[in-house]
Amino acid sequence: MTKEFISDIIKVENIQSWTQEKIVFIEGPTGRGKTHFIKYTLSDYDPSKKILILVNRTIIKKQSEKELVREDVGNITLTTYQNLSNLVLTKNTMGYEGYDYIICDEAHHFCEESEYIFNTDVSFNWVMKQSAIKIFMTATAHFIKGYIQDELNLEINHYHIKNDYDFIEKLYFYENDDVIKKLLFDLPPDEKAIYFTSAKKAYDMSELLDSSVFYCSKNNYAFSQYVDSNIVNYIEENEKFEEHILCTTKVMDCGVNIKDESIKHMIVDIADLSSIIQCIGRKRIEGNEKIRIYIKDKKGNAISRKLENINNKLGYANILLEKGDIALVQENAHKNSYGNLIYDVINTEELRIDKKINDLMYYTYNQNKELYTDILKDKENGFKYKLLERMGIDMNYTYLEQELDALKLEHILDKLVGIKMFKDQQRDFKQMLLKELLNSPKENHGSVGLKTINALFDENKINYIVNSKKETVGELKDKRYWVISKL
């Protein structure tokens, strides 16, 4: 099946119809030419028109600027959302006004990048006030598109390419972090992996592995000290990494291209659905490449913690909305922070500091509250089902623990077929079984019987069965023993 690109669905006549009143929304997976369309098709359409591209990572800005110099594209300026916000707050945006087109690349930034950037609404509000044609581009448009349509009641020109995910060789979910350690330690020397998780877990894993590299945001004050700047520079220059495994946070989830055919495994331990999709999209697929995806299944407790965090932050924002600044401070006097929906703004006219709610984040948190409440209704499968629904795919998946258990135990069980196991041997067998299984039952050794063992084999698709029989001859006559048979 031939892949569809943005230049296939947006023609010159479409560009000619665009106006300042309607936002242009370009939604599609990574690698489908969204940025290429802007840098070449749109910039060539009328070279006299000035284009401003906003990006959410310094590394993306540097990559793009080098490409523009290389291709001699002269009517495009790049800056980051963070830089623009700083200029707006200091009333110093003169150099960024008067553009004909403003491109908001990775536009989900406005609604979803709240971990370190509280005031994404500053750059958004500035963009919306400009007399320019505004183009929003992202692979995960769910929240920002909803905000523009539902909260601002604005019309959009929507261009959409659906992601087919045909590059996924196999999709796994997993529950136990130990299974990922085993996967990474046993990785073939000619295969690379990217592991997306929290900064702490990424750093800890990088310390355990021989050929690995750690990368996180420079704004992460606890762990950015461990990032090797040479690695960042190498990724910028070459769009790949030399080491066997890249252990990183979702700071890598936006716009950074990784082009390397030796990357065969992508592991994502993140609860946010949009971030998972962005992380998967960081590997640019060339030709008929196939990769394996491993996603940590977030079940009851993990989702409850996520929902509790959302409710806490919404609680602060709702107090501010309903009762004002003073009530917020009075009711939470022991707090020095009110979550990342609220930030301080200097009121220069009255010489005071006011607290402000980021409306885009507030909308997103309320949407996520509904999402995770819905997921909790099915604690066992809700997360998986909602993720696959958001990805727009109907794909079979496997639990990694089950597959590795089956491979490991089949090798052991094959050697035990037909051997009679009496009481002592049964005890040793159960101890071995529970030690080797990643997906082991919760019972202690003594309470595990034939029924549990055979159910466990069936659950893990291990094609063996243990039967109980009675000895008919010798000094152990009439004693019961277990015997393993292959199905």
Question: Using CA of residue 354, residue 360, residue 366, residue 371, what is the dihedral sign?
Answer: negative
Separation between Cα atoms, residue 156 and residue 4, nearest integer Å: 21
In 95-243, beta strands by DSSP E: 101-104, 133-138, 156-160, 168-174, 192-196, 212-215
| 414-423, long-range: CB < 8 A, 24+ apart | 414/486, 416/484, 417/464, 417/484, 417/485, 417/486, 418/483, 418/484, 418/485, 419/483, 419/484, 420/471, 420/481, 420/482, 420/483, 421/481, 421/482, 421/483, 421/484, 422/476, 422/479, 422/480, 422/481
- Are 246 and 357 part of one and the same domain? no
Residue 95: pLDDT band by 50, 70, 90 thresholds?
Answer: confident
- Are 288 and 314 part of one and the same domain? no
Average per-residue pLDDT for the chain: 88
Residues 6 or more apart whose Cβ sits within 8 Å of residue 314: 341, 362, 365, 366, 369
In a domain, 47, yes or no: yes
In a domain, 390, yes or no: yes
- Are 219 and 359 part of one and the same domain? no
Residue 270: pLDDT band by 50, 70, 90 thresholds?
Answer: very high
Residues 6 or more apart whose Cβ sits within 8 Å of residue 254: 56, 57, 60, 106, 109, 113, 278
Residues in the chain: 487
Closest CA to 253 of 34, 106, 66: 106
**Rg for the chain (alpha carbons), in Å?**
27
pLDDT value at position 445?
44
> Which residue's entry shows tokens 């509000």?
125
In a domain, 53, yes or no: yes
The residues facing 170 across adjacent strands are 292
Lowest mean pLDDT among 3-7, 286-290, 316-320, 436-440: 436-440
| Residue where one domain finishes, among candidates 135, 160, 185 | 160
Range of the domain at 244: 168-299+380-395
- Are 14 and 79 part of one and the same domain? yes
> Is 53's pLDDT higher than 70?
yes
In a domain, 109, yes or no: yes
- Are 249 and 390 part of one and the same domain? yes
- Are 144 and 193 part of one and the same domain? no
Take residue 87 and report the two structure tokens written for it: 């200029």
| Average pLDDT of the residues in 104-123 | 87
104 to 6, 42, 59, 85, 447: CA distances (angstroms): 16, 14, 16, 13, 60
> Is 345's pLDDT higher than 90?
no
In a domain, 118, yes or no: yes
Can you give the pTM of this predicted structure? 0.82
| Average pLDDT of the residues in 107-116 | 83
Taking only the tens place, the pLDDT of each residue in 58-70 is 777 887 888 887 7
> Is 113's pLDDT higher than 60?
yes
> Is 72's pLDDT higher than 70?
yes
In a domain, 1, yes or no: no
| Average pLDDT of the residues in 369-383 | 93
Residue 356: pLDDT band by 50, 70, 90 thresholds?
Answer: very high
pLDDT value at position 441?
59
104, with CB counted inside 10 A (0-12, 13-18, 19+), is buried
Residues 6 or more apart whose Cβ sits within 8 Å of residue 448: 430, 433, 434, 441
In a domain, 52, yes or no: yes
> Is 259's pLDDT higher than 90?
no
> Is 194's pLDDT higher than 80?
yes
> Is 383's pLDDT higher than 90?
yes
> Which residue's entry shows tokens 């031939």?
2
> Is 426's pLDDT higher than 80?
yes
Does residue 73 or residue 438 have the better pLDDT? 73
- Are 253 and 385 part of one and the same domain? yes
> Is 408's pLDDT higher than 80?
no
First to last CA, the chain: 40
Taking only the tens place, the pLDDT of each residue in 273-282 is 988 998 898 8
pLDDT value at position 87?
94
What percent of the chain shows pLDDT beyond 70?
A: 96
In this structure, are residues 70 and 63 in contact, taking their beta carbons and an 8 Å threshold? no
- Are 251 and 274 part of one and the same domain? yes
158 to 4, 40, 41, 155: CA distances (angstroms): 16, 20, 18, 9
Taking only the tens place, the pLDDT of each residue in 202-219 is 999 999 998 899 988 877
- Are 308 and 278 part of one and the same domain? no
- Are 342 and 407 part of one and the same domain? no
Taking only the tens place, the pLDDT of each residue in 147-172 is 999 999 999 999 998 888 889 999 99
- Are 14 and 156 part of one and the same domain? yes
In 3-state terms, what secondary structure has residue 190?
A: coil
Indicate the Cα dihedral angle 3, 7, 11, 12, nearest 10°: -170
| Residue where one domain finishes, among candidates 339, 365, 395 | 395
- Are 23 and 156 part of one and the same domain? yes
| Average pLDDT of the residues in 436-452 | 65
Closest CA to 202 of 164, 231, 239, 172: 231
What percent of the chain shows pLDDT beyond 90?
A: 51
CA of residue 39 relative to chain centroid, distance: 27
Domains identified in the chain, total number: 4
In 3-state terms, what secondary structure has residue 173?
A: strand
In 3-state terms, what secondary structure has residue 254?
A: coil
| Residue where one domain finishes, among candidates 362, 395, 428 | 395
Q: What angle do CA 280, 383, 197 make, to 5 degrees?
A: 45
236 to 3, 57, 67, 299: CA distances (angstroms): 26, 11, 11, 36
pLDDT value at position 364?
95
222: domain CATH number is 3.40.50.300
| Average pLDDT of the residues in 341-348 | 87
> Is 254's pLDDT higher than 60?
no
pLDDT value at position 255?
52
284, with CB counted inside 10 A (0-12, 13-18, 19+), is middle
What one-character DSSP code corresponds to residue 147? Answer: I
